[in-house]
């Protein structure tokens, strides 16, 4: 079965993300007080948290020449991700790791397969921390 993945963030503007540079990410990593992943809408309402992902489903992905390091993870309830993307169509969703804003992708389509890709040009260390937070919840 062909797996469809909707990229939630364009890699053409990785400098717009907070924590993109390894120096910034390293500084923020040492100050992080929580390993909770939280998705929020533009009004700051919590849409999903680490617990909404299937433990063990997260992985670091990379496609040479196509995108930087990204995190791919599967929702426990694909319908929840579908509803989140439907409700926030043509709006941004903020992805936080602890208090750190990682990305604010613009939703252009509903995600119906339950798989989310957070593409933010992460450092390898930060990408592994995100995967660990999801997989070891």
Left (φ > 0), alpha (ψ -120 to 50) or beta: where does 114 sit?
A: left
Residue with tokens 């995600």: 111
Q: Helix, strand, or coil here: 8? A: coil
Domains in the chain with CATH codes: 6-135 (3.30.1360.200)
Please answer whether residues 88 and 52 qualify as being in contact, where contact means their C-beta atoms are separated by less than 8 angstroms: no
Per-residue pLDDT 10s for the chain (137 aa) are 333 333 333 222 222 333 333 333 433 444 445 679 999 999 999 999 999 999 999 999 876 555 578 889 999 999 999 999 999 999 999 999 999 998 898 999 999 999 998 877 788 888 899 999 999 98
């Amino acid at each position: 079965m062909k797996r469809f993945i909707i990229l939630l963030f364009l890699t053409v503007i990785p400098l717009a993300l907070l924590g993109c540079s390894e120096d910034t990410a390293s500084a923020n990593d040492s100050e992080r007080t929580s390993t909770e992943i939280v998705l929020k809408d533009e009004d700051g309402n919590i849409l999903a948290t680490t617990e909404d992902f299937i433990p063990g489903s997260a992985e670091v992905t990379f496609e040479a020449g196509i995108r930087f390091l990204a995190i791919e993870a599967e929702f426990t309830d694909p319908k929840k991700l579908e509803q989140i993307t439907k409700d926030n169509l043509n709006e941004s969703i903020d992805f936080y790791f602890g208090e750190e804003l990682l990305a604010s992708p613009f939703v252009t389509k509903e995600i119906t397969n339950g798989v989310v890709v957070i593409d933010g040009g992460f450092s390898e260390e930060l990408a592994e921390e995100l995967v660990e937070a999801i997989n070891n919840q």
